[in-house]
Structure 1
């Protein structure tokens, strides 16, 4: 395989929101010049075909390109800094309904099995996430927010599991409430901007289809996520075949551009597995240090690896 072919295969192009045009040339390791160099850090999630974390990545395997310029990768190591995570819970009217199999909507055509009320599955999934994350990273802080009719903080940022559990127990569906998930993402980004750690994440759990009533546009979402430099992870419970196409497109773009995953779940058992998988992914991220010419700012960043069969998740918004 030629170096040029490798570059074409492994680098993930920045597109969509950033609108960055990328061309691929042969990879060369940039040499140090008289120009001062600044070290920058980004966080990279690498998984195999089954979504399991890859834990043996080495520095020579990682490639970085900013604004069509190759960067020197200094080091690749497991990220150990504590995280700040905002958990977004669906408390719309849909959370008070059962799955399609239990008769939701008068039908019996569900794709999976959920509890009679989906809110129970949401509580169980978020509660499990909190416990697993606290066990793996005790210093990580989490905040719980709901988005039924309004984006409301249920439990403020804390590492106290008991306080978070109390918040989870207070999650109830609001009769007649529509979804404001996109508004909640903005509020979560603002909250994360106040935290000191550079490892910031938003994990959203919503029900599809949903009556999305957020008034914010995609540019506002992108701007707030850019400021916080948070990764967005979006997990959708989808008891039926329908979904909110417009909101789905927005979530696809946002997760892709910020380095998170977009997943659909059709059964309770799969939901628990997915949440554990995300905890594992977050706790096995890589801290990638690379060099950029001093005083410069970048518009977009590409990450690649010299290994086949892997999926990469990294923020396409470069560190400044």
Structure 2
């Protein structure tokens, strides 16, 4: 039986598809892969290593940090700082972006935005968590220190994005704008192998992921859409299935493979939505479009939004194109006052 292709081999073989291919992207993705291996090991040993539970601190979002949040954040920062491909990094866990000032970093062409441990509130009960990353080319001149402008770019400018999902197996899924591919980590060998080539959303979806505990706070259009999904589906002879974990990576991954939609709309308790545009929504929207899906904030395409601040929040509706289009119609039919 022929050995499956490794992530490193795949990147090298497909580097011609990357418009700025000079080896930096390969090295950058290798750094993310390396940090992901360390986080994978830490998560699998969390109970034994006494790094479960809360750290007793809040991040810039006002969320109580888990110990693994801090560990994952430090691991990705240190790994990327030790390479020369990144001139700056922004993390959901930090108030401001980091400008890497060493000469080799100032000459680098890329910045990274990262959610080091998405869904970390689930870690103590052993539910799937993940890491989300987004990569841009800097807009400031090389040789200088990065600026706000480098990070406040629309999602259309992403050159790569992806996530690591730490579940029954650890999988790295990414895109450079030429489709979506997934690689499963084999801890025995220490390598990621291509396991999910050319991922596409199924043409029709059957799953919806939303925190229905917030139903009373949702816009009327979203309420109507949820009720529509709960009715008997004529084609399937059953209603849509509700699946929600509280981990964006887990819900998005399942919906992309099986066909579904994820919703975190605006509401009276979250007038601008809850998810962060730069760390969560843009990378997932890029992946969704490359897999034949769609992502909107309720009014416009997620990747067309020009961010105004580093930790900007937006409503997020993402998944199977057909289902997102139907949600969009309900929102137009029942506009908010």
Q: TM-score range by the shorter chain?
A: under 0.3
| TM-score of the two chains, using structure 2 as the length reference | 0.26
